Amino acid sequence: MMVRFQFEDTVYRGRVAGRSIEAGGRFYDLDEVEILAPWETTKVVCVGLNYVEHAKELNMDLPKEPIIFLKPPTSVIGPGADIVIPPSSSQVDYEGELAAVIGKRCKNVAAEEADDHILGYMNFNDVTARDLQRRDGQWTRAKSFDTFAPMGPYVVDADPASLKIQTRVNGTARQSSVTSDLIFSVPELVEFISTIMTLLPGDVIASGTPPGVGQLKAGDVVEVEIEGLGALKNRAVAGG
């Protein structure tokens, strides 16, 4: 499990070993460091309506090709950081997702070769100002607020084909599914997206959310946990 963390005033990358992190031949206790978003990214490419059961929940036809949108790097936060509910929104929703981190430059890559370009996988929360999404008729403002892309805590080598995924709010399960319900698999997403834009090391593909999306209130603690990837926990707070 790869991790990015801060110790005192310096940011490191390392690997988790039990309750410690090994970086550069030195071991750091997990309790003495701040875990950051696992990777620095130039862009976060998200996929909408990519679970069969979520489409059924919304009474929508399955898309013929992936529906994609971008979140800016400034929306990224790590585990433990606060999700800030902006004053301009009255409905901010959680969306737990599996995300892939790109490991090397990726352009026009076939699905069969996608694994060679993926560094690993992590938890992701596609936080969305739902009322603004409906009002605008497009998604940029609703998806792009600072703190609206929590990710982490680790980047893990995993098989994305059939992982259990759950989102909890204040300890209660709100989303529960498996990635085998994805309409477009991660390799298919890499192929589709890389024909449109060049993916660079550290870029993130968030593969879509299962059914059960719902609202966050100030004070709520939301956790996204995917099998083998640890748990991503963040608190929602009211913005000033």
Q: b vs e for 149-176, b when ≥16 Cβ sit within 10 Å of the residue's Cβ?
A: bbbbbbbbebebeebebbbbbeeeebbe
| Whole-number Å distance between alpha carbons of 7 and 217 | 32
Question: What's the mean pLDDT in 218-233?
Answer: 98
- From 84, 2, 78, 71, select the one nearest 42 (Cα to Cα): 71
More confident residue, 34 or 54: 34
Position 212 pLDDT exceeds 80: yes
Q: How confident is the model at residue 39 (pLDDT cuts 50, 70, 90)?
A: confident
pLDDT, tens digit (0-9, with 9 covering 90-100), for 186-198: 999 999 999 999 9
Q: What is the pLDDT of residue 111?
A: 98
